[in-house]
Amino acid sequence: METRRFILALSLSLLVFLLYVRFFAPKPPATPAEQESATQETVTPKAEQPARPAVSPETVAAKITQAAAGKDIVVETDLIRATVNTAGGVITGWELKNYREADKTEVGLGALYKKFTGQAKPEEKPKKELGNVQLLPAYEGVDRKDLVSPLTLAPLDKALYKLSQVEFRADRDSLRLGQDRPTEALVLTYAGPAGIMIEKKLTFYNSEYKVDIAVTTRGIDGYTLSLGTDFGLADKVSSDASGRVGLVAVADGKSITEKLDKIQGEAQFAGKVDWFGQSDKYFTAAVLYGANGIITGKRATAPKEIGDLLTTDLTVKEKPEAQTFTLYAGPKSFTILQAQGHGLEQMVDYGWFSILAKPMFWLMRQFYDITKNYGIAIILLTIVVRVLLFYPSLKSAMSMEEMKKIQPQLLAVREKFKKDPQRMNQEMMKLYKEHKVNPLGGCLPMLLQLPFFVALYNVLSVSIELRQASFIPFWIKDLSVHDPFYILPVLMGVSMIFTMKMTSTTPDPQQAKIMMFMNIAFIFLFAWLPAGLLLYITLSNVLSIVQQLYVRRLIGVKSDTAMFSS
């Protein structure tokens, strides 16, 4: 009986539990799979609705309006006078206040000759005053499609090409910096269709040639930022500038130099771009970047009096919505470029022996700070170099004098054994040994001096500090151009002849005539070198003559001086 009751109670309890779970218990939370299924069921009806078509680039391009002329915004600092135009938000003018245009008026003997022969051009009255250097030249007779303004931003999507010429809104009409306003920014903004936006923020500095540039974009997948056509090239066509104009850059840690006359249509480099620029002998325009990009240099033909055109662009694909750059446009002064960082001073090419050229340049600047005359600074620098090289050059001079002493005996040996070259060489070596003379003793010390002389030559060749630097006002007004009266070339030639006469060891009169002819030819070949270089060469020759006279006197007093033996 008890067992029946227990079974009945258990059955009723189970029935009540089942009824409760079925009709009254709360529903358990849905599993993730059920939630996803429910979401899909909810979204599915919406997905079946027709999709809203995307706006094509062509449709957007049709709504973009190109600017007509734009408005000029003049930016003045103590160093530059720049002009920024709102049509494209580009630079249209860049004037250097502290550098004057090169005076191309012919002076000196050449001018006198033309005047007496009636070939001289009539002088302008009043004479036109030289203006400041313009780093963005204005050309006439050049196809407009070949000219690109600096800071032109062109989208990689060719359908949106009009964006490079739209009207930007500027936050001010002009900008004047000074000691009381050392830095200020100019903001250019464009808001276009389909949410496209471009902003260029240009931060100028009163006492620097640089501009910090922040470019912000929206609705653009990538773009090219142009350095412009011939920006930074103040002199392309003069003989002094030939071979020095071109594209320069540092990408992936490697220095790149592409001369304008070597570019066949287009030159391209990709990698991490530290900086890239365009430069001539004394001036440059460069962009400092520090990220991945593609540098493209393009050459376009132009009339001979203008010279072929160079346009350099940077392609930006990574994070085009926010990028920063620094523009430098000014002189190729080693100290100024070095202060910009990123190794920009590599643009000043001191050649193979730059490790010697850099301290020489520094020393020349120190002498200038004292004398305020680069001509005197060159004289002092040449003397210092000669003093440092005194001992090796003295050994060379001593060896040459010793060789001259045994020349008659060497000549006799050559004549005696001219039909037996092997015996002749043996007798000559025996003669050298008896007189303790090293036939290479005069050459090896000279080779040791060569890097110093080449380094100094390069310093004087490329230093902008010598441009329009006066030595003697009524004679040499510019150490970077040739001596107008050709006094230095003649003095150099005379000093070379004297040096040859004092140091020549050849007994052959025919060879002596050839060497004399070569020294005379050097007068004409070197006549067009910069006066600063000729001043260095001439003074160096004079010091060599003085040293040779000292050696002769030393040998005459004590010919067996052991300390100078080879």
Dist. CA 559–CA 565, nearest whole Å: 10
In the predicted model, is pLDDT for residue 110 greater than 60? no
Residue whose C-alpha is closest to residue 235's, from 249, 247, 245, 246: 245
| CA separation for the pair 357, 451 (Å, rounded) | 9
Confidence of residue 34 (pLDDT cuts 50, 70, 90): very low
Cα-to-chain-centroid distance, residue 351: 13
**pLDDT at res. 181:** 92
| Mean pLDDT for the chain overall | 79
Tell me if residue 270 falls in helix, strand or coil. Answer: strand
Cα first-last separation, the chain: 138
**Which tokens hold the place of 49?**
């609705």
Q: Give the model confidence (pLDDT) of 432-475 as tens digits.
A: 777 777 666 556 656 777 788 788 888 888 889 888 888 998 89
Which amino acid is present at 474? F
Whether residue 509 has pLDDT greater than 70: no
Evaluate if residue 486 carries a pLDDT over 80: yes
pLDDT at 108: 52
State pTM to two decimals. Answer: 0.77
Alpha carbon distance 436, 241 (integer Å): 50
In SS3 terms, 400-427 reads as: HHHHHHCHHHHHHHHHHCCCCHHHHHHH
Condensed to tens digits (0 to 9), the pLDDT of residues 268-308 reads 998 899 999 999 889 999 999 988 999 999 998 888 888 88
Q: How far apart are CA 441 and CA 239, in angstroms?
A: 40
Q: What is the mean pLDDT of residues 477-491?
A: 87
- Is 510 in a helix, a strand, or coil? helix
- How wide is the angle at C-alpha 133 spanned by C-alphas 83 and 258, nearest 5°? 95
CB 484 within 8 A of CB 109: yes
Whether the Cβ atoms of residue 89 and residue 188 lie closer than 8 Å to each other: yes
Tens-digit pLDDT profile for residues 46-57: 344 343 345 566
Q: What is the CA radius of gyration of the chain?
A: 39
Mean pLDDT of 85-110: 80
Looking at the chain, the whole-number percentage of residues with pLDDT higher than 70 is: 78
Band of residue 30 on the pLDDT scale cut at 50, 70, 90: very low
Q: What is the pLDDT of residues 172-216, one digit of tens each?
A: 999 999 999 999 999 999 998 888 899 999 999 999 999 999 999
User: What backbone phi and psi angles, to 5 degrees, belong to 423?
Assistant: -65, -35
| Contacting residues for 411 by C-beta, under 8 A, at least 6 apart | 507
Measured at the CA of 181, the angle between CA 177 and CA 187, to 5 degrees, comes to 65
Residue 520 has pLDDT above 80, yes or no: yes
Which of 33-37, 125-129, 316-320 shows the lowest per-residue confidence on average (mean pLDDT)?
Answer: 33-37
| pLDDT of the residue at 364 | 92
pLDDT at site 43: 37
Q: Helix crossing, 443-462 with 390-405: angle to 10°?
A: 130
Distance CA 437, CA 434 (A): 8
Q: Is 546 helix (H, G, I), strand (E, B) or coil?
A: helix
Q: What is the pLDDT of residues 130-168, one digit of tens each?
A: 788 999 988 877 777 778 999 999 998 888 888 888 899
470: Cβ contacts below 8 Å, ≥ 6 apart: 373, 375, 476, 477, 478, 479
Among residues 225, 235, 171, 227, the alpha carbon closest in space to that of 203 is found at 171
Average pLDDT over residues 363-380: 93
Residue 315 has pLDDT above 80, yes or no: yes
CA distance 99 to 133: 6
Provide the angle, in degrees to the nearest 10, between the axes of the packed helices 374-388 and 443-462.
160
Percent of the chain residues past pLDDT 90, beyond the cut: 28
Query: In three state form, how does the secondary structure of 166-219 look?
Result: EECEECCCEEECCCCCCEEEEEEEEECHHHCEEEEEEEEECCCCEEEEEEEEEC
Q: What is the C-alpha separation between 66 and 87, in angstroms, rounded? A: 8
Mean pLDDT, range 531-560, rounded to an integer: 77
Which residue from 325, 318, 322, 338 is spatially nearest to 289, judged by alpha carbons? 325
User: 555-564: long-range contacts (C-beta < 8 A, 24 or more apart)?
Assistant: 555/398, 555/401, 555/402, 561/398, 564/394, 564/395, 564/398
Please indicate whether residue 357 or residue 516 has the higher confidence score (pLDDT): 357
Q: Decide which of 228 and 502 is more confident.
A: 228
Residue 564's pLDDT band, with cuts at 50, 70 and 90, is very low
| pLDDT, tens digit (0-9, with 9 covering 90-100), for 222-259 | 899 999 999 999 888 765 666 788 999 999 888 888 88
pLDDT band at 2 (very low <50, low <70, confident <90, very high): very low
Query: Is the distance from CB of 285 to CB of 181 less than 8 angstroms?
Result: no
Q: Would you list the DSSP string of 300-334? A: E---TTT--EEEEEEEE-SSTTEEEEEEEEEE--H
How many Cα atoms within 13 Å fall on the side-chain side of residue 455?
A: 21
**pLDDT higher than 80, residue 427:** no
Residue with tokens 């599993």: 31
Question: What mean pLDDT is predicted for residues 78-107?
Answer: 86
